[in-house]
Amino acid sequence: MDIKGFIFDLDGVIVFTDKYHYKAWKTMADEMGIYFDEEINNRLRGVSRMESLEIILENYHGEPLSEEKKIELATKKNDIYRNLLETMTRADVSDEVRNTLDSLHQKGIKVALGSSSKNAKFILEKVELLDAFDAISDGNNITNSKPDPEVFVKAADFIHLKPSECAVVEDAFSGIDAAKSGNMYAVAIGDATNYDKADYKINRFSEILNIC
Ligand code: BG6
Ligand code: MG
């Protein structure tokens, strides 16, 4: 395997913001009287903000909502989420993650981010990790979210590599699907290690260094 670049998902791989997404969506759902639990929250991983809202609205049984109202709900959720993200600091990223990214750079391997989140840069700034990435591909530069490969294909392009020269590190099934359909090597961590489509499974972030 001659991997020249690594593309990392953000939530669930580099940082753990699931709990903040949950709290923010839960506040919005409670106010609307919509049933929402952690199991539904799990379905939102890797999915864009507006698609996430549609999944939550599967449990909404009131009058049809206008597009305007939906945008208002998603904006409300994002405001709550951003306030929660404000509490993040450098301590929210482990030394293991920082050291592994450093080691990749030292080996001459390119490092990119491939996240569906429009808040990706903000999060990386909060945890002081923006400099560790050669390029950022996120929710602001895509029209289709995972399992569509767009976010990863763009990330590969940003670091001037072919998709086949890149490995994607993902914790979500939809992200593994996106990597495979984008013709990339799919490395699973966390939840995604239960997925057969992954090419390689790791239990610890530093095991990435065994691949290259
Ligand atoms: C992904 C998360 O990283 O970003 C999803 O896994 C989230 O749960 C998506 O819905 C969009 O995030 P944001 O920050 O643009 O609302
Ligand atoms: Mg993830």
Mean pLDDT of 84-111: 98
Q: Which amino acid is at 206?
A: S
Cβ(170) – ligand 1 distance below 6 Å = no
The pLDDT score that the predictor gives to residue 152 is: 98
For residues 163-185, give the mean pLDDT: 97
Residue range 118-128: mean pLDDT, rounded: 98
CATH fold for the domain made of 5-16+89-211: Rossmann fold (3.40.50)
Q: What is the mean pLDDT of residues 51-66?
A: 97
Confidence (pTM): 0.96
pLDDT at 1 over 80: no
* Separation of alpha carbons 89 and 104, rounded Å: 23
Å from CA of 45 to ligand 1 middle = 7
The catalytic residue positions are: 9, 11
Residue 116: CB within 6 Å of ligand 1? yes
- Using pLDDT thresholds of 50, 70 and 90, give the confidence band for residue 76: very high
- Name the helix (H) or strand (E) containing 1: none
Residue-level pLDDT at 51: 95
Average pLDDT, the chain: 97
- Considering the four listed CATH numbers 1.10.150.240, 3.40.50.720, 2.30.42.10, 2.60.130.10, the one that applies to the domain covering 18-85 is 1.10.150.240
Residue 11: its pLDDT value, please? 95
List the one residue out of 173, 186, 182 whose CA is nearest residue 47: 173
Residues 154, 132 contacting (CB under 8 angstroms): no
Sign of CA dihedral 26, 17, 44, 39: negative
pLDDT at 56: 98
Within the chain, which residue ranges are assigned CATH 1.10.150.240?
18-85
Size (the chain), residues = 212
- Ligand 2 centre distance from Cα of residue 191 (Å): 9
Where do the CATH 3.40.50.1000 domains begin and end in the chain? 5-16+89-211
